[in-house]
Chains A and B, each alone.
Chain A
Amino acid sequence: MGKIILTVDDSSSIRQVVSFTLKEAGYTVLEACDGQDALHKISGSSLHMVVTDLNMPNLDGIGLIKKVRMDPVHKFIPIIMLTTESQNEKKMEGKAAGATGWIVKPFKPEQLLAVVKKVLG
């Protein structure tokens, strides 16, 4: 079984495309619709990586990153945030919160794969 990646986004179509791309590349993909849902899915599972949107209801991406970085089991896993170019400040904030990297929306599937490969090895 390939490495397990959790994709978090309140937009189901983005989730779908991330999930599709990663599955094609042989990863196992879990989906969560917001930060809270993601935390729920993370606890008790063994994940290798998280790809998360920033603007989400309930618990946003930054909040999620902070929470994951406090989880003794998952605090070292790579977390990639999905941002848009207008969100430079957000990107800094996310980075400081413990995000590993980012992908700028809109992105092409191969860009996503390149970043995942980069941080997951």
Chain B
Amino acid sequence: MIPDVHQKAFIEEATELLSDLEQTLLDLEENRDDKDLIGKVFRALHTIKGSSGMFGFDEMAHFTHDIENVYDLIRNGELPVTKEIIDLTLAARDQLYIMLGHDKSNFPLDGKKTEEILNESKKIIAEYHKSVDRNKNTTINEPKHIPELKDASGSDLKSLKSYNIHFKPLQNIFLGGTNPVLLLNELRDLGETKFITHIENIPDLSEMNPELCYLYWDIVLTTDKGIDAINDVFIFLGDDSDLKINECERTDFVTNGTNLAGNEEIKQGNADSGCSGVEPASNHENVKSHLENKLDKNKSDSKKIKDNQDAHHEMDGATSLRVSTEKLDELVNLVSELVTIQARLVQIASQSDNSAIIAITEEVERITWELRDSALNIRMLPIGTTFSKFKRLVRDLSNELGKEVELTTEGAETELDKTVLEKLNDPLIHIIRNSIDHGIENPDERVKGNKTRMGTIKLSASQSGGNVLIKISDDGAGIDKEQIKAKAIASKLLPENSDASDADIFSMIFAPGFSTAKKVTSVSGRGVGMDVVKRSIESLRGSVEIESTLKKGTTISLKLPLTLAIIDGLLVKIGEETYVIPLSSVEECIELVQSDIEKVNGRHIVNIRGEIVPYIDIRERFGIIGIVPEIRQVVIADINGTRIGFMVDKVIGQHQTVLKTLGKAYKNVDGVSGATILGDGSVALILDITKLADKETYEESLTVGQLV
């Protein structure tokens, strides 16, 4: 009945709802009285229930029903949010996720679990009803029974019956969108009818309101469809309209006599209605005043919700469009080509005298930059989406390890490139796991050490320039420097009696296979963790740092570029070629004349305000021949905390470039991370200064070793 495409759309939608639901539940656990969050949970469950039934997921619909009921009670303030309810709902969410067919490992579904969750929620509702029964003062608003729209086929074909129908709609029936003529037509379709239209309530033309219905009707209907079918015609009218349906003696419209008899009864019915007409009207008044109260409440509620949404809008991206990443990549690629072409256009236009072309070129330039910014911006996602996943991780993991850990986040709105964000997921999981397993102590141990029972892991993100800083700090046991040093010496990573700095010692943690954990747990301690973390962060052009104080806690800082697609570079010239040095690590540029070099006997060091900084002569390093200029420049960069210079012929200036990879053929070329196309169409290589420095220091240590 329902095409597959719809089913797919439903699965996609439900998946999204379920992942939102998880987040909302975790938020709700922290703010248990937040009406907005409760409403959000209810809405999510409600939508899942409503849709799943329609798309053939009957089991889901049935399953969600009871959970939704629990939240209905909570929403009406009749039940408090408890940890049990949150646990139950999270379990239910996971179960729903499996029902959608996602988690193949858990398929087919564990029916017992479904049962358990259902029983649990039924118990909660039953307990609530019991407490209401005990407390007779609490009145329940019994919902009025409204007959549902039924299939009108359950009729008795043999017995034709006649009914008197008195139908006097409310005068404002049109305002409910109901057209009484359509109702009368429906009656006509049911069988043989005789209508009497009463026109006596129509006022004088001057007093008449054309938007009101002044007519009412008495109808005699002979049908085999039964009274339910007639009720169904008027099903949407509710109790407001004056409607009476009585079975009468079978009438035969062919003879005049019975017709009259029918008329007699109609008049009687009419008289009845005169008396009872008051009651519905007063009912209506009640409903109206009730509604007005509700309306006021709704107004303030919806305002609150709206305010809230505005505040969260940037974070949530409430209205969004799903686009495949390939399409986005293609767009970014096209835009970057455009940027390149446009730069050439500027160069050519600047050589012409045509002011009109120059004006247009400037306009094109402005739009191109705007286009580039927005195209890159599309790929940016708030890091909060990743953060929120960890709440569940921390919750489950700390339960498993018998620890009490709270995760706090900061700067969830910080935006990062989608690719960076995706690749960040695993390293972060690793770090958090480590923190919970090794960092945070058992509650009892913590109390002994004068700490709160509950440990805290803080995830924070902030943007600085073209980088995003992500810090994962815990207030756990910290890292034992001596232990690491001993282990490093034992595994020959450090020479004996080494006087390595704290930073050097901590960086040992990143060495492959390094683990000080006394035993391997299911969570961590296998020593394959941190080196993988470091490698994946470095593959994102980022860096990792560790700070730790014994018994106080550990902070791991990740520094990542905002985006991988473009970099801010410093254009430099060496010989005939132009190169790009990533600006994010550049600290300053200094000039060096030949005589300065001679002063230090040709050694590659410069004295910057009293500090000796080594530098790498790129001309020498790359074997570039040609005339060496008298005055050269050294770009001083900060590489993992060490200042290293790179000597070039000339610094041209800042240049924002689109990063292009060199292709497989050049993947083993050291010291170059990619290339970019300059305004004049020429290619500039992007220097991988970290690699260059690494290689240089490595070679240096070799020569030092040889000398010794």
Residues in A lying within 8 Å of B, measured CB to CB: 10-14, 16-17, 20, 33, 49, 53, 55-60, 62-63, 66, 69, 75-79, 82, 84-86, 88-89, 91-93, 95-109, 111, 114-115, 118-119, 121
Indicate whether A33 sits within 8 Å of B178 (C-beta atoms), given known contacts A17-B54, A57-B309, A119-B236: no
Chain A residues with CB under 8 A of B707 = none
Cβ-defined contact, B50 with A14, below 8 A: yes
Shortest A13–chain B CB gap in Å is 4
Closest 7 CB pairs of A and B: A106-B53, A88-B143, A101-B236, A100-B177, A78-B177, A13-B10, A105-B50
Q: What separation, in Å, do the CA atoms of A84 and B141 have in the docked complex?
A: 18
Residues of A within 8 A of B68 (CB): 86
Cross-chain contact B144 with A88 (CB below 8 angstroms): yes
Partner pick for A13 among B51, B146, B211, CB 8 A cutoff: B51
- Chain B residues in 8 Å Cβ range of A57: 43, 305, 309, 318
Question: Is B287 a contact partner of A96 (Cβ separation < 8 A)?
Answer: yes
Q: Which residue of B lies closest to A110 (CB)?
A: B1
Jot down 14 A-B pairs with beta carbons below 8 A, ordered by A. A11-B51, A12-B13, A13-B54, A16-B6, A17-B54, A20-B3, A57-B309, A60-B298, A66-B295, A76-B177, A92-B238, A95-B176, A101-B178, A106-B53
Chain B nearest Cβ from A38, distance in angstroms: 14
Residues in A whose Cβ lies below 8 Å from that of B235: 101
Residues from chain B with Cβ under 8 Å of A20 in the complex: 3, 6
Residues of chain A within 8 A (CB-CB) of B157 are none
Count of chain B residues with a beta carbon within 8 Å of a chain A beta carbon: 60
A96 to B309, CA, bound (A): 28
In whole angstroms, what is the CA distance A79 to B178 when docked?
9
- Inter-subunit contact A100/B176 (CB<8 Å): yes
Residue pair B49, A14 in contact (C-beta under 8 Å): no
**Which of B5, B54, B181, B298 lies in contact with A14, CB distance below 8 A?**
B54
Our pick among A56, A62, A63, A92 for the contact of B146 (Cβ within 8 Å) is A92
The residue of chain B having its C-beta at the shortest distance from the C-beta of A108 within the complex is: B1
Instruction: Establish whether residues B309 and A106, one from each chain, have CB atoms under 8 Å apart when the complex forms.
Output: no
Extra contacts besides A33-B319, A53-B50, A104-B149 (19): CB < 8 Å: A14-B47, A14-B50, A55-B42, A57-B309, A60-B302, A66-B295, A77-B177, A86-B65, A86-B72, A88-B146, A92-B143, A92-B238, A96-B291, A105-B49, A106-B50, A106-B61, A109-B1, A121-B179, A121-B181
Q: A104 CA to B68 CA in the complex, in Å?
A: 16
Question: With contacts A16-B6, A55-B43, A63-B298 known, is A103 near B238, CB below 8 A?
Answer: no
CB neighbours of A12 from chain B (8 A): 9, 13
**Residue A79 contacts which of B5, B14, B51, B177 (CB distance < 8 angstroms)?**
B177
Minimal Cβ-Cβ distance residue in A for B9: A13
Chain B residues, CB < 8 A from A107: 54
Tell me how far the C-beta of A67 lies from the nearest C-beta in chain B, rounded to whole angstroms.
11
Q: Which of A11, A82, A114 contacts B13 (CB 8 A)?
A: A11
**Residues of B with C-beta under 8 A to A92:** 143-144, 146, 238, 287
Most buried by B among A69, A86, A95, A106: A106
User: B175–A98 contact, CB under 8 A?
Assistant: yes
B599 contacts A by Cβ under 8 Å = no
* B243: min CB distance to chain A, Å: 14
Whether B53 lies near A105 (C-beta < 8 A) is yes
Known: A13-B9, A17-B6, A75-B175. A103 touches B54 (CB 8 A): no
At the interface, yes or no: B30 with Cβ under 8 Å from chain A? no
| CB-CB nearest in chain A for B291 | A96
B419 within 8 Å of A by Cβ?
no
CB-defined contacts of B557 to chain A, threshold 8 Å:
none
A40 vs chain B, min Cβ distance (A): 12
B263 beta carbon closer than 8 Å to chain A: no
Residue of B nearest to A18 (CB): B54
Complex Cα–Cα for A11 and B294 (A): 25
A111 touches B176 (CB 8 A): no
Are A105 and B291 in contact (CB-based, < 8 A)? Answer: no
CB B11 to nearest CB in A, in angstroms, measures 9
Instruction: State in angstroms the CA–CA spacing of A76 and B50 once bound together.
Output: 28
**Docked-complex contact B54 and A58, CB < 8 angstroms:** no
Within 8 A of A (CB), among B103-142: 141
Interchain Cβ contacts within 8 Å, total number: 141
Contact B288 A119, beta carbon cutoff 8 Å: no
Q: Which of B10, B47, B141, B290 contacts A55 (CB 8 A)?
A: B47
Interface residues of B in 1-59 (CB under 8 A from A): 1-3, 5-6, 9-10, 13-14, 42-43, 46-47, 49-55
CA distance A75 to B172 in the complex (A): 11
Q: Considering only CB atoms, which chain A residue lies closest to B181 in the complex? A: A121
- List of B residues within 8 angstroms of A106 by Cβ: 50-54, 61
Q: How far is the CA of A30 from the CA of B319 in the complex (A)?
A: 18
A102 close to B236 (CB less than 8 A)? yes
Which chain A residues lie closer than 8 Å to B42 at the CB level?
55
Contact between chains at A13 and B43 (CB < 8 Å): no
Which parts of B136-163 form the interface with A (CB within 8 Å)? 141, 143-146, 148-149
A119 and B177 contact, CB distance less than 8 A: yes
Quick check: is B182 within 8 A (CB to CB) of the other chain? yes
CB pair A97–B3 under 8 Å, yes or no, is no
Q: Is B9 a contact of A97 with CB atoms below 8 Å?
A: no
B9 contact set on A, CB distance < 8 A: 12-13, 16
- Report if B186 contacts A (CB, 8 A): yes
A98 nearest CB across to chain B (Å)? 5
CA distance A101 to B179 in the complex (A): 12
Chain B residue, CB-CB nearest to A70: B175
Give the Cβ gap from A30 to chain B, nearest Cβ, in Å.
17
Given contacts A59-B302, A106-B61, contact A119 B178 (CB under 8 A): yes
Cα(A95)–Cα(B287), bound, Å:
10
When distances are taken between beta carbons in the complex, the residues of chain B under 8 Å from A114 are 149
In the complex, whether B306 has a CB less than 8 A from a CB of chain A is yes
* B53 CB → nearest A CB, Å: 3
Task: Assess whether B302 is in contact with A58, with CB atoms less than 8 Å apart.
Answer: yes
**CA–CA, A16 and B69, complex, Å:** 26
Please state if A69 and B175 are interface contacts (CB–CB under 8 Å).
yes
- Give the shortest distance, in Å, between A103 (CB) and chain B (any CB): 7
How near does chain B come to A60, taking the closest CB pair, in angstroms? 7
CB contact between B46 and one of A33, A84, A88 (< 8 Å): that residue: A84
In the complex, A78→B182 CA distance in Å? 12
Is B145 in contact with A11, judged by CB distance below 8 angstroms?
no
Tell whether, in the assembled complex, residue A104 and residue B148 are in contact, meaning their CB atoms are under 8 Å apart.
Answer: yes
Q: Are A89 and B177 in contact (CB under 8 A)?
A: no
Contact of A11 among B50, B53, B144, B185 (CB under 8 A): B50
Q: Which of B289-330 contact A (CB under 8 A)?
A: 290-291, 294-295, 298, 302, 305-306, 309, 318-319
- Given that A102-B236, A106-B61, A118-B182 are contacting pairs, would A10 and B175 also be in contact in the complex, using a CB cutoff of 8 Å? no
| Alpha-carbon distance between A102 and B143 when the two chains are bound, in angstroms | 16
Return chain A residues, CB-CB under 8 Å to B141. 89
Query: Which residues of B lie under 8 Å from residue A76 when comparing CB positions?
Result: 174-175, 177, 211
CA distance A75 to B177 in the complex (A): 8
Q: Establish whether residues B182 and A121, one from each chain, have CB atoms under 8 Å apart when the complex forms.
A: yes
